[in-house]
Amino acid sequence: MRLYIGNINGNFAELNSEESQHFSKVLRGKIGQEIYVTDGLGKLAKGKVSQINSKSIEVELSEIQENFEQRPYQIHVAIAPTKNMERIEFFMEKSVEIGIDEITFLKTFHSERKNINLERCQKIVHSAVKQSLKASVPKINDLIKFSDFLKFNHPENKMIAHCDSNFERKEFKKIIKPVTDYLILIGPEGDFSKEEIQLAEQNGFIGISLGNQRLRTETAALNSVFGLNWMNN
């Protein structure tokens, strides 16, 4: 089974240029072939390729599922990207497979990376959605200053994972509330600064510990995504 990101309109779907070229040239797809398409917003459809053009492919749909495998909760991870971007790309790919809804990149005091290639990140996420047979594409947000991000409206269950024992930290798995939305802040290699932890607490974030071991940034983020999904299943 393969998934293609497309625009679903009634009983037809049209694949974009990039997906059309991948289907016709890489996979050597043919007219009449049965495939699955998704609009990336939770809609999954089964259909047959009815037309192949140079820049687009049309699919005639036979089955459409709304809200495919939609969870009754949302997971948002705000993470300071590592100097080695491959580690963050690994996190994005695996978190999509596990189940995540939104990723925001944070610019913190100890951040070593000052910019990201947002277009590449979105391509990685799209590819992971197709590979893992999902129908919803997580939202990817560009780098934002830590203090600015805290000013936004966030869900009630918002946490900051850090390693500073000078602050109170609750055990992650003991404060998870089932079937609710979550936001978890994950810091850089040097952790969040004391000022950032204080600021987060002043804005209603709960300090949490992900265990006694010291985790890499991407491992901590994956651990939290897995834990939230596991505790809600």
Q: Read off the pLDDT of residues 166-197 as tens digits, 9 standing for 90 and up.
A: 999 999 988 888 888 999 999 998 999 999 99
Contact 5, 128 (CB under 8 A): no
Shared-domain flag, residues 11 and 119: no
Which secondary structure element, helix H or strand E, spans residue 123, and what is its range?
helix 118-131
Shared-domain flag, residues 34 and 144: no
Integer Rg of the chain from CA: 20
- The parts of the chain modelled with pLDDT lower than 50 are none
- The residue from 65, 91, 119 where one domain ends is 65
Position 4 scores a pLDDT of: 80
Position 5 scores a pLDDT of: 81
170-171 and 139-145 beta bridge pairing? unpaired
The sign of the dihedral angle between the CA atoms of 99, 102, 103, 106 is negative
3 contact partners, CB below 8 Å, separation of at least 6: 36, 37, 38, 44, 129, 130, 133, 134, 135
Q: Which domain holds residue 154?
A: 75-231
Q: Strand, coil or helix: what is 230?
A: helix
- The residue from 65, 84, 107 where one domain ends is 65
Position 1 scores a pLDDT of: 58
Amino acid letter, residue 204? G
Q: Global pTM?
A: 0.92
Shared-domain flag, residues 109 and 198: yes
Q: For residue 69, how many other CB atoms are within 10 A of its CB?
A: 12
- The residue from 11, 35, 65 where one domain ends is 65
